[in-house]
Structure 1
């Protein structure tokens, strides 16, 4: 499957804001957006006024990059959101939030979504007691996500557990720090999602 292999900081610069793809680095003066707050490439400093389509496209790209999702999968999530009851844009964000890699990040057990994706792929997490190594796995209400017993003793997980201690957990997650597990106690609402996204623009783009 195709995947982005270039420097992740270029994605932040392209969107003109921090996407927090590098964890703690994004909060320091080493952050590329802070040092070079313009788009990458030789024409990056030439600011252009975006058309309506351009604004919609940038919002879609930003959402894809926040969650680390490719176009075909993002379109699949949008189609799922359309079929659900409620507001399509909010449904889309809810589906993205329920990806296993995002839940691991929200638990605080990874410093970034890319790291959470890697940890899931390496088989460090289980859902309802069954090991799952698919980052795009969609969890459901009542599911319990936990670090596998063998992984709890690893230095990486111990460090991540300490990192999670100072990170707030969303209201839709019930996190048990001792067990390094979390239960989905509610579905994420728009108020729970702290990303600066205008999901209505994404809906307008796909509705053309």
Structure 2
């Protein structure tokens, strides 16, 4: 299944607040559809599926990409769930979003895809690029690129800059100082349920 491009509020009504997907708040706080307001008991599978969908929609990855990230996280030592979140958070599109250069992750992805972002002095137009400690992320020295970011910085998506990042608003240059810590992940999610979801499918 490819990346979702449909109505975003419909997703947030069903899954709850997804800070990376949209900044808008739904007027109706119950899931869409005919049975949205009916209270029915959810199965354990449904709960795990919902947590997995939160990850997919918030970070804008396809099912195939997410499976690849889960497999990669399993190969790394430590908590698989935490490593999975770190892999997703350290993507270039998400890092641009967390630096405040874009209001949402889809907007950050567009910024990257259109060649407005540089990493260590070279243009990188791959949104899934994995940022590493020491990487310097900047906006290309062009009027068009700088105007877009200037507009976005006046109304950022998330107010707090994570501890692993630093950003100079005058030069539009950010730096990755480390790997994100669990408490700085803005998405409200139980990552262990996501790992359980894929464990049971395997």
Q: What is the TM-score with the length of structure 1 in the denominator?
A: 0.89
CA contact (8 A) 1:120 1:132 kept: yes
Of 148, 162, 166, the match for 1:170: 162
1:93 is the counterpart of 2:85: yes
State how 1:85-124 maps to structure 2 within 5 Å.
Answer: 85-124=77-116
Q: Which residue matches 1:8?
A: 8
Of 167, 183, 188, the match for 1:191: 183
Moved more, 47-56 or 68-77: 47-56
CA contact (8 A) 1:161 1:180 kept: no
1:45 is the counterpart of 2:37: yes
Going from structure 1 to structure 2, the CA distance change for 1:194 and 1:206 (only over 3 Å counts) comes to same
What is the CA-CA distance between 1:135 and the residue it aligns to?
A: 1.1
Q: What is the TM-score with the length of structure 2 in the denominator?
A: 0.91
State how 1:7-86 maps to structure 2 within 5 Å.
Answer: 7-15=7-15, 17-20=16-19, 21-23=21-23, 26=24, 31-32=25-26, 35-86=27-78
Structure 2: which 5+ residue stretches go unaligned? none
Q: Distance in 2 between matches of 1:193 and 1:19?
A: 12
CA contact (8 A) 1:124 1:151 kept: no
Provide the alpha-carbon RMSD of the alignment.
1.9
Q: Secondary structure at the match of 2:155?
A: helix
Q: Distance in 2 between matches of 1:153 and 1:62?
A: 31
CA contact (8 A) 2:81 2:191 kept: yes
Of 171, 181, 206, the match for 2:198: 206
Q: Secondary structure at the match of 2:142?
A: helix
Q: Provide, for residues 99-135 of structure 1, a one-character-per-residue CA deviation record: whole Å limited to 9, x for no partner.
A: 1110001001111111111111111101111111111
Structure 1: which 5+ residue stretches go unaligned? none
What is the CA-CA distance between 1:151 and the residue it aligns to?
A: 4.8
1:130 is the counterpart of 2:122: yes
What is the CA-CA distance between 1:150 and the residue it aligns to?
A: 0.8
Q: Provide, for residues 142-165 of structure 1, a one-character-per-residue CA deviation record: whole Å limited to 9, x for no partner.
A: 11111111156643222123335x
CA contact (8 A) 2:69 2:84 kept: yes
Q: Secondary structure at the match of 1:163?
A: coil
Q: Report which structure shows greater RCO (CA 8 Å, sep ≥6).
A: 2
